[in-house]
Amino acid sequence: MKSLWEELNSHRPMLVCTCPHPCRCESMRAARNFRLEDQVIQFLTGLNDSFAVVKTQVLLMDPLPFINMVYVFVVVKIFFVVAGV
């Protein structure tokens, strides 16, 4: 999935400030955060109903965790299901 996001980012790269004096506003940081949040939501949307608790817990977090942390939550859930805990 990461390679798909990287390919999408290569076709639609994040905007970079080209001002002679770099921007000091939060616009670029906010745009990057929106993209990262979109990736988390897209990942969660692709999970089946057995991960409903994980989805809910992640969506209630403010701010949303990074995608790698969400992946860890899913792996832990799978581990507990397999272990029968």
Neighbours of 44 (CB within 10 A): 19
Give a yes or no: residue 1 inside a domain: no
- Has this prediction a pTM greater than 0.85? no
Angle at 6 (CA atoms; ends 32, 34), nearest 5 degrees = 20
Give the sign of the dihedral formed by CA 75, CA 81, CA 84, CA 85: positive
20/77: higher pLDDT: 77
Give a yes or no: residue 4 inside a domain: no
Give a yes or no: residue 29 inside a domain: no
Q: What's the domain range around 69?
A: 48-85
Residue 15, pLDDT > 80, answer no
Cis peptide before 63 (omega within 30 of 0): yes
- The conformation of residue 12, written as its DSSP 8-state character, comes to S
Residue 63, pLDDT > 80, answer yes
Average pLDDT over residues 18-27: 70
Give a yes or no: residue 6 inside a domain: no
* Total tally of structural domains belonging to the chain: 1
In this predicted structure, what is the pLDDT of residue 58?
A: 95
Give 36-58 pLDDT, tens digit per residue. Answer: 898 899 999 999 999 999 999 99
Neighbours of 82 (CB within 10 A): 8
